[in-house]
Amino acid sequence: MEKAIIFDMDGVLINSEPLWKIAEIEGFAKVGLDVTAKSLEESVGLRIDEVVKIWHNKYQWTNKTVDEVTDDIVNILIREIKHQGKSLPGVINLLEELKSKGFKIGLATSSYQRIVDVVLDKLEIRTFFDVTHSAEFEKYGKPHPAVFMTTAHKLNVKCTNCLVFEDSLNGVISAKAARMKVIAVPEKTHTYNAKISLADKVINSLTDFNVETVEEFF
């Protein structure tokens, strides 16, 4: 029976969470909001349009639409990824080992597809993935399980035969709701949330994961 490994992208494959904060702070400043990195932590893992809607519901700015602010933030993020995006420790080695063992590999992210394309090219990891899927194409983003369920469907693997690597609580909830096993790799720039222990295992870094133990999760 085929098995798959599915990766979240931001904060798991690329050091983009600090870049998201730069983009959101700069983007929201264009509509007069003075947001802080700390205030943005609760929305980590959510789709960016949903994040912007949350802030708009609170502050009701009128000089730009939600879509325009969303587009501003995405454009700023892409600028920052191209300038300083780097893979996180252990990413390349883990992808190579999983590929060599014949696992199907998927990517399931809240980020828009044009961000996914920039990241895959910047890190030069596109060829490792059998499937990539963005919650942009789902009615609901994480913590709804749809993005993971669709990724499994595209991989032609049962959800119960998928192991997910996630960095955020919203992502862990999403993957567990899809009936997948989850390894949490908490992102280091965020305040640690003890609820992330909902995952089947919590590790400090992808370098700490031993591929020889992967079968224990199925």
User: What residue segments make up the domains of the chain, in order of their start?
Assistant: 4-15+86-217, 17-84
pLDDT tens by residue, 44-92: 878 899 999 999 999 999 999 999 999 999 999 999 999 999 999 999 9
Q: What are phi and psi of 158, to 5 degrees?
A: -65, 145
The CATH class of the 17-84 domain is: mainly alpha
Tell me whether domains 4-15+86-217 and 17-84 share a fold.
Answer: no
Residue type, 113: Q
pLDDT at 99: 96
- pTM higher than the cut 0.85: yes
Mean pLDDT to the nearest integer, 134-153? 96
CA nearest to 199, candidates 182, 216, 185: 182
Q: Is 10 a catalytic residue?
A: yes
Per the annotation, the verdict on 49 as an active-site residue is no
Catalytic residue among 8, 49, 72, 167: 8
Q: Which CATH architecture has domain 4-15+86-217?
A: 3-Layer(aba) Sandwich (3.40)
